[in-house]
Copies of this chain bind each other. A is one copy, B any other.
Amino acid sequence: MRTRFHQSLDDLKEKLLRMGGLAEQAVDRAIEAYRLRDANLCQQVLEGERAINTMEREIDELALDLLAMQQPMAVDLRFIIAIVKINADLERVGDQAVNVVQRVMELLKLQDGELSVDIPRVGSVASTMVRTALESFIYARADVAEQVLKTDSQLDQLNAEVYHAMLKTMHEIPALTTQALNTLLISRNLERVGDHATNIAEDVIFWVRGADVRHLFGSQAANR
C-alpha cells in the first residue's frame, strides 16, 4: 500500500514536470513568434492552451486521489500541496504566453517600426526563471529556488527599461505609439511569467524548509 502510494507520488511529480514542459514551450514559442513575426507560432500557442488547462485539472484530481488514498505523512502532504500550487502557476504561465501572442498578432497588423528593445532577452530571462524554478522543485533545492527570487529583480529591471524606452518612443515618434504600446505590454506579460516562476520558487522553499522542520512530526504521526 505504502509502495503504491509512493509510486503515485512519482506519477504526480512526473505529470507536473510535463505540465511545466508545456508551459515553458508556450513561452518559448511566444518569444519566437515575436522574434520571427510568425502567425503560425502564434496559432500553436493559442491551440496549446487547452492541453495545459486539461492537464491542470488532471493533476489536481490526481493530487486529490492521493490525499484520499491513505493518511499521508506530513512531509508528503506538504509535497502534494506544493504541487497543487505550482500547478496553478504553470497554468498561468501558459495564459501569459497566450497574452503575448495576442499582442504579437496585433503587431502583425501594423507596419514594422524600428523599436530598439530586446524583447527576446526579457523572454529568455523569464523562461529561464520558470526552468530554474522547476529544477529547484525536482531536486528539492531551496538554494536554487532562491536564485529565482534574485533573478526576479533583474527581470523587473529589464521590464522597466522596456517601459521607459517605449514611453520615449511614444513621445518622440507618435506614429509608432501602437507598436510601442504592444511591445511594452509583451514585456509586462513576460515579467509576469517571472512572477509566476517566483511564486513557484517560494512554494518550493515553503515545501523544502517545512519538510525539514516537519519531517520529525510526520514520523511521529505515523507512529501514533
Contact = CB atoms under 8 A, between A and B. Distances in A.
A67 B77 CA distance: 7
A53 to B, nearest CB: 10
A168 to B, nearest CB: 10
A contacts with B: majority SS: helix
Copies of this chain:
2
B171 A221 contact: no
Q: Size range of the interface on A? A: 20 to 34
A57 B207 CA distance: 12
B81 A206 contact: no
Given A67-B67, A221-B68, A81 B78 contact: no
Contact of A167 (B177, B188, B210): B177
A150 interface: no
Nearest to A166: B181
